[in-house]
Structure 1
Amino acid sequence: MADVVELCADLIRFDTTNRGNNDANPERPAAEYVAAFLDGLGIPSRILEAAPGRASVIARVPGTDPSLPALLVQGHLDVVPADAADWSVPPFDGEVRDGYLWGRGATDMKDFVAMVLAALAGGVRPRRELVLAFVADEEDRGDWGAHWLVAHHPELFEGCAAAISESGGYTYHVPAADGRDVHLYPVGTAERGTAHLRLTARGRAGHGSRPNDENAVVRLVGALHRISAHRWPVSLTPAVRAFLERTGAALGVPVDLSSSDGVDAAVAALGPAGALVVPTVRTSTTPTMLDAGYKVNVIPSTASAQVDVRVLPGTEESLFAVLDELLGEGVTREFVAHQPPVQAPVDSPWFDAMASALRAEDPEAVVVPYCLGGGTDAKAFAQLGIDCYGFAPLWLPKGFPYRAMAHGVDERVPVDGLHFGTRVLARFLADC
């Protein structure tokens, strides 16, 4: 039987660094490794390239009940950059040390790819057909991966009703009101949308020494101040409401969701668990880039900025209406990138099967839905009407800084966690 730790280590050793804007080490070698492994299991696969070297692997695994809709199991093969000088171990060596497998991609997300492969190698017989998609370019915009596949090869995902992928199903240790260590397992059922905006202020150019009430820089700074100072209202999506209610019940903490103040108080009362939901009770609009002027004594005719906007499901129309009012005179906006929010049903047979698989391996598991503050390739596959869930199960020890691992220095995953996740995935794939 294939060892999940060895599989993950092998995948880490492929340096598939994605620096963005199609500046990336090719995913092709990792894709060929995955395809060869699947072929060895008798699972035929295809490698598709959106651009030279930017490769994704697609395969179908028959289910025992062909009347059921298919499940998409999707993950990405690329990783963000890692500066070896900052790390305790070489980031692409796949080294096992102190009970952990170290390396870039250990938790984001070559661990999931390895666990899926190990579960299949262990002989799991899925009830329903599985569509496997291990893709390129998630760490940028997906233009050479998931979004390209959805745009150019939607037929590959025909029949898929739901999908599982990263960002959910991991152990989150939280102290209860009575001192118990609660094993919380958040499962992603929604994601905030991404709207990267470019603001452009226009005015009258002139000499820096002279009064100018049409200064583009001043107009831009005013708009950014109004945007950053604006307090967006609480908007409880089904995932966030269920998270607050169910987590509060598990921890013995009463929650009052009848007002914005009540929601804020509930988030604070949940302690460490509240950190999971802080970014998703409101929309966020964060200025991140500025560009204006070319000489200190010249007032430019234009000034620009970029703003990272994260949109909760169901709030886009109202958000942009308010944002347009905040821009003020002489300032316009345009999308640099725009991917709408996505959400899947909180109460569904899919979620129930995930919870059941987790509880079978950890009887103390408290499984709750949550909304991701960022984004994944779910935004691509949701366009096909697929309900996307964040479910990449891992057992994590108490105190392990999991949320600092993805994109962080010294990324690592517990060896025991990989074995746990493989068992959970095998149960889920066999029973869902």
Structure 2
Amino acid sequence: MQSLFERIDRLNGKYNALVSLDRPRALQRAREADLAQARGQSWGPLHGVPITVKDSFRTAGLRTTAGYAPLRDSVPDRDADAVARLKNAGAIVIGKSNCAPLCSDLQTRNDIFGTTGNPWEAGRTAGGSSGGEAAAVALGLSPLGLGSDSGGSIRVPASYCGVYGFKPSIGKIARDGLIPPLGDPAREDSLTVVGAIARSVRDLALSYSILSGEPYGIDAAPQHAPRIAWTGEFPRQLMDDEVSSALEAAYRTLSDSGASVEKVEPPLDLHFLNFKYFMLNMYEFSPRESSPGLHKLFWLFESARSVFSGGIEANYKKLKADQREQVDLFDRFAQQFDCWALPATPTAAFHHQKSGRPIPIRHRGKSKRYSYWHATGGFAFLANFLGCPSVAIPIGRDRNGLPIGIQVVGRREQDTALLRTAAHIAERIGSTMPLAT
């Protein structure tokens, strides 16, 4: 614990990954862990393991802001359910990591704590909204980070920072104590999940077992070589040439390893699905406080449209029907495979810039500026919309030394099976990077 805090003192100032530290209590708890171990006692599978927690999870006695200025001085009196589960397994919370305001951006910066830099080049984004967690794990400031994912918020920063991230199936892990929502939500959120960021699939699997209560099943002997569907190109969704090259090289390596890998056409219309995701995000997740202007425009549009569709609730019911139809389409496709592999992000980490502005991308030899949301979460939104589990796996770096990742998507409710397949893939093409400094 002392060594970890020394590393935090040395590196965190440059990258701004951790924003609130609990040093006295963490050191005291570490001493207690040593004494318990000396007596032959075990607190659980995470006995004495230091962890960090995204600043959107309530932590008893430790400031929790969700990057939202009105919560600047908020100190909860109890832990979020996920935090309590990790602590009950023996983990020691050392601090909170920076996040986008109310978890509503794919970069990490806010008016309270400022901007989190990418561990491989501080002038570039660490992603968001769990960017502080991904940066902390990549920098070796924490071996395990607790995050949340409503539209790529674990997987995008994991890919940008070169670490592993897991978005479980919807409903697998309790969200009690996670901000947002700020008040009573009008509709049930079918997008947001609690998950983890770590430096291996095995650590993701262990944390998932603790958080979900499901047995740790990643070491079970596979009944067959994993059947992997692989898609590297999508109509109307651009991807940087270096990401394309890295994916093609990873595909060849995986195929040469003897894995059963089949290149397939996209099983879903990604452009249609992403549009529906944006709509559902506005209905179920996006807090009005995060972007009041956008919310006003959206609800004006929906009100005008509802005149011809039977009302706002009719619009929402149609949207949920579209979601169920897409889930059914994917389920039929996924029955043939153990996972579907596709890019994690369309580009490597880009330089810090104002949210919403187009992102530079080089596609098929031509430089372009691409829509902000499609250039960041264009491959990530689908897993939230479908409610499926997904694992981000680093596979290499671009010419600037910036990480590139893939994600593997599994069948809904088959989280442990997906983690087992992800571990198989990571052993062959995963890139466990040295600690960033």
TM-score range, shorter chain: under 0.3
* TM-score, with length taken from structure 2: 0.25
Q: Higher relative contact order at CA 8 Å, sep ≥6: structure 1 or structure 2?
A: 1
Q: Return the structure number with greater strand share.
A: 1
Q: Return the structure number with greater helix share.
A: 2
